[in-house]
Amino acid sequence: MEIITTSSIDEKVKVAKKLLLSVGNKIGSVYFTKKDGKLRRMCYRLHVYEPQYSKAPKGNDRRDINDRNNLLVVFDTNKVLYNDKGKMRGRGAWRSLSLERVKRICVNGKIYKFA
């Protein structure tokens, strides 16, 4: 496990984004705190095009908004989707991940922890 210490939030955001994007088309995991303070683990993928059960996020100005608010849109591979009758119809959903709240990243067989 490699511990990363950063002096500012901007530096943490840059390092976290670089590490999260380094996973490429493989699956990585990230630990972060939610808005209510709970710790959450999420397995994610990037470069997902036309998933079978989930619609892609809409909006042309979405990238600018995400950059301003330090967000990264990822595909959550663990989210289970159900139909109207309660039966499972597939997996996966789009999530906006706050880069300021990242605690630990596991990519390419390495673990990075933010202090």
Question: What is residue 1's predicted lDDT score, i.e. its pLDDT?
Answer: 84
Q: Taking the model in full, what pTM does it have? A: 0.82
Spatial distance between the Cα atoms of 25 and 46, rounded to a whole number of angstroms? 6
CB atoms within 10 A of CB 79: 16
Q: What is the DSSP letter of 90?
A: E
Show the DSSP H helices in the chain as ranges: 9-21, 62-68
What pLDDT was estimated at residue 60? 63
**Model pLDDT for residues 46-96, shown as the tens digit of each residue:** 988 877 777 777 766 677 777 778 999 899 998 888 889 999 988 888 899
The whole-number pLDDT of residue 6 equals 86
End-to-end CA distance of the chain: 12
What is the share, in percent, of the chain residues with pLDDT greater than 90?
Answer: 55
- SS3 call for 46: coil
E strand or H helix at 74, and its extent?
strand 71-82
- What is the reported pLDDT for 61? 66
